[in-house]
Amino acid sequence: MHSICFILFLLITILTSSYGQVTCASGWVQYGGSCYLFYAAFNSGSTSVTWDQCNTYCTASYPGATMLCDNNAAEHEFIRIQSAGGWMWIGYTDMLPYGGGKGTKQYGWITGCNSTYTNWNAGEPNNQGNNQDYAAVNPYGGL
């Protein structure tokens, strides 16, 4: 049985008309001034794709796109609703060069955005098993 892993991308280069309206490509969803692609990936023999697989797919398949920078509570709720009950990787990690290094709990955005919004669930990040180096949107609320 295959599970769905929702992968989220944010298109950095936003197409605009002469009226300043955002125009998203087919299959992308507009929210505010940005376009999002919610991609359900099937990884044969596994329950999900890794954060690295998600990031590679995003940047290789959609030049100019990047994994999400979660900016505020309203955007976070929009993303959570789009997940349709699945977890989604976002571009937030403690791995170098973006964060402080494996297991440090010093996270950074791979996009270089300056968002300070985190919405961690209680006790998170906890680096369970010394092996949690990436953040995901929890379909039930926080990160």
- Is residue 129 in some structural domain? yes
For residue 140, pLDDT beyond 80: no
- Is residue 66 in some structural domain? yes
Domain that holds residue 86: 5-137
Q: Which two structure tokens, joined as six digits, stand for 140? A: 């039930």
For residue 86, pLDDT beyond 50: yes
Q: Which of 54, 6, 9, 56 lies closest to 34, judged by CA? A: 9
- Is residue 142 in some structural domain? no
For residue 85, pLDDT beyond 80: no
- Give the chain's length: 143
- Is residue 98 in some structural domain? yes
- Say how many domains are in the chain: 1
Q: Percent of the chain scored above 70 by pLDDT?
A: 79
Q: Which residue has the tokens 């926080």?
A: 142
Report for 15-19, 24-28, 103-107, 114-118: range of highest mean pLDDT: 24-28
Q: Which two structure tokens, joined as six digits, stand for 133? A: 């180096």
Report the pLDDT averaged over residues 88-95: 89
CATH number at residue 57: 3.10.100.10
- Is residue 143 in some structural domain? no
